[in-house]
Each structure stands twice: as C-alpha cells, then as structure tokens.
Amino acid sequence: MTNDEAQPSAPESVPDEGLEAIERQEEAAGPPAPPRERLAYLGFYVGQEVYGLPLGQLREVARLTRLRHIPGAPPGVAGLVNLRGEIVCALDVRAILGLSPQAPADSAFLVALRDFDDPVGLIVDSIADIYSIDPEEIESPPTTWSPERRACFVGTIRVPVGMMGLLDVHRVVKT
C-alpha cells in the first residue's frame, strides 16, 4: 500500500462538549452506591416449607441420631441427642411453629445452634441450601400465620425454592 492510497480514517472523537456533558451527568448522579451487604442464611425444610437461620448462629449440621425423650418436657422439646459426646437439647420446630405433628424421619437433621448458655439444636427434615439474601428484600411474615407463629420470625424472603421464613432463633428457643 502506498501513501497515495486512501487509508481508513480514524473514528471521529467525541467533541469536548459531549465529554463535558457526560462529566456533568456523572457529577449530578453522585458517587456510585456502595454494594449492599448480603446476609448468609442456612435454608432447611420442615415438611414442604422452607425456613432459614443466619449462618452466624449455626454451630453445625448433623444427622439426627438416637433421640432420647424426656418425660414431662414441654411440647417444643423433642428430647436429648448425643452430639459427639455433648448432650444437646433437640427442639421440635413443628411443635414450636404450630405445624402438624410428625415423628422425625430417619433422614432428619439436627441443626446445632451457637450463642446459647446450654447446647441446643433444631430438628429439621432436610437441608435446602445456603442463601445470600439482601436485607432490603425481607418482607413481613404473612398475616395468615397465627400471632404465635409470626412472633418466631423476623420476616420472609423469596429464594429459588420458594418463600423462606427467616427464623428469629432466640425467640424459637425461648418458646
């Protein structure tokens, strides 16, 4: 190719006025919003419903082993479980939430909790997943739930498997 032959022209640059307009728009919009903090929740099933608790309150998840019933215990206390040499009070989530009673299946799990004076855990049917949720998307518990049941939740949120009830673990344990 010789210098006499036509070469493709460089793309025209944005005029200074256009750049100034873009800069004014960016200044008017202000600094970009910081990314919203998301919360990690363990999702689990009780029956067909999915519930969740903050991962920070989770000690561990283990298969439910032999459950020893305690005569005269309140309905929310399913019994005691030996979790690697430590005796854990196993709570019946169904009874606490006012769901239909059902004996724990052989495939049930014990969700051991932390930050309590005594070792405590929740009996759940199965584990769903760990979800990263946006706190701004949390909604109030449904008004169709009884006031006693609503008191056990901080809210609900939509996750890929459906609507997940977010447990207030301290209220569940006190109940």
Number of domains the chain is built from: 1
Please state whether beta strands 86-92 and 120-124 pair in parallel, antiparallel, or not at all (unpaired): parallel
| Average pLDDT over all residues of the chain | 86
Q: Is the pLDDT of residue 13 over 60?
A: no
CATH label of the domain that carries residue 77: 2.40.50.180
72 pLDDT above the threshold of 90? yes
pLDDT score for 104:
78
Q: How far apart are CA 19 and CA 25, in angstroms?
A: 10
Is 113 part of a structural domain of the chain? yes
- Split at pLDDT 50, 70, 90, the class of 12 is low
Residue 167 lies in a domain: yes
Give residue 114's pLDDT.
Answer: 93
Specify if 19 maps to a domain: no
Residues 140 and 156: their CA atoms lie apart, in Å, by 6
Inform me whether the pLDDT recorded for 36 exceeds 80.
no
Q: What is the pLDDT of residue 103?
A: 76
Tell me, yes or no, whether 47 lies in a domain: yes
DSSP string covering 87-133: EEEEEEHHHHHTPPP-PPPTT-EEEEE-SSSS-EEEEESEEEEEEEE
Q: Is the pLDDT of residue 154 over 80?
A: yes
How many angstroms separate the CA atoms of 108 and 48, rounded? 14
Give a yes or no: residue 165 inside a domain: yes
Query: In terms of pLDDT, which residue wins out, 19 or 113?
Result: 113
Other beta carbons within 10 angstroms of residue 152's beta carbon come to 24
Q: Are 109 and 61 in contact (CB under 8 A)?
A: yes
| Residue 15 confidence (pLDDT) above 80 | no
Torsion (CA) 174, 100, 47, 55 in degrees, nearest 10? 0
Is 24 among the domain residues? no
Lowest mean pLDDT among 33-47, 68-82, 105-119: 33-47
Q: What percent of the chain has pLDDT over 70?
A: 80
Range of the domain at 169: 39-174
